[in-house]
Amino acid sequence: MPAERIHLIRHGEVHNPDGVLYGRLPHYSLSAKGHEMAATAAAALKADRRPISALYASPLLRTRESAEHVQEAFGLDVVTDERLIEPHNVFEGRRLTGGHILIRPHLYFHLRNPMQPSWGEPYVQIAGRMMAAITDAWEKTPDGDVVLVSHQLPIVMVQRALTGESLAHNPKKRRCALSSITTLERQGNRFVEVDYRDPAAGAGAIDLGAV
């Protein structure tokens, strides 16, 4: 039998004092609060009393650090999967003000098609690689649950793809808080979302810098 449930965990709060869009930039680690949030998510899974048999994480530092808390709770090795990574974005490294990127005129060209989006990896490509990673993890795990630690936009793409919603969306309406847990099950020949939790809600985290 393949895995029973797939838990998609977003990383915790990132140390980002300059308020930049960090994207795939290296060395963006969790803040002290981010570690606490990741530990809270791991504890929520532990409280479920369900066996976790495999643990995967995006190669970026903030997701690997978040995965370490699940590793400690369940005694698992963390397997890096490039398909779980944050999308690339031409605005990486630029500062954010009031929730909007400060864009120079020569960068306006990258805003020509927000439905794709034209400034980064296409939504359909993000959804495709995430679903491939989920399917592989499900098939390769003979029993128990699987945890995949990823980023906000990749997880949102999975949520929307499974419900048939348009992948193009308003980022302000995303339902994927820091250290949140989106849980999937295989029903028939498709995955469905069966639970969404925000165990670290109320931590007062700063959620700034996601693609």
The 3-class secondary structure across 159-181, one letter per residue, is HHHHHCCCCCCCHHHCCCCCCCE
CA distance 76 to 69: 10
pLDDT values of the chain reduced to their tens digit, one per residue, 211 residues = 688 999 999 999 999 998 899 999 999 999 999 999 999 999 999 999 999 999 999 999 999 999 999 999 999 999 999 999 999 998 888 886 644 555 566 666 677 777 788 789 999 999 999 999 999 999 999 999 999 999 999 999 999 999 999 999 998 899 999 999 999 999 999 999 999 999 999 999 999 888 8
Type of residue numbered 63:
T
| Four-way CATH pick for 5-18+28-89+121-197: 3.30.1280.10, 3.30.1360.200, 3.10.20.90, 3.40.50.1240 | 3.40.50.1240
CA distance 55 to 38: 14
Domain positions in the chain are 5-18+28-89+121-197
Structure tokens at 14: 């990132």
Task: Quote the pTM value.
Answer: 0.94
Residue 136 pairs in a beta bridge with none
**Is the Cβ–Cβ distance between 87 and 121 less than 8 Å?**
yes
CA distance 3 to 142: 6
**Read out DSSP for 128-148?**
HHHHHHHHHHHHH--SSEEEE
Type of residue numbered 139:
E
pLDDT of res. 95: 80
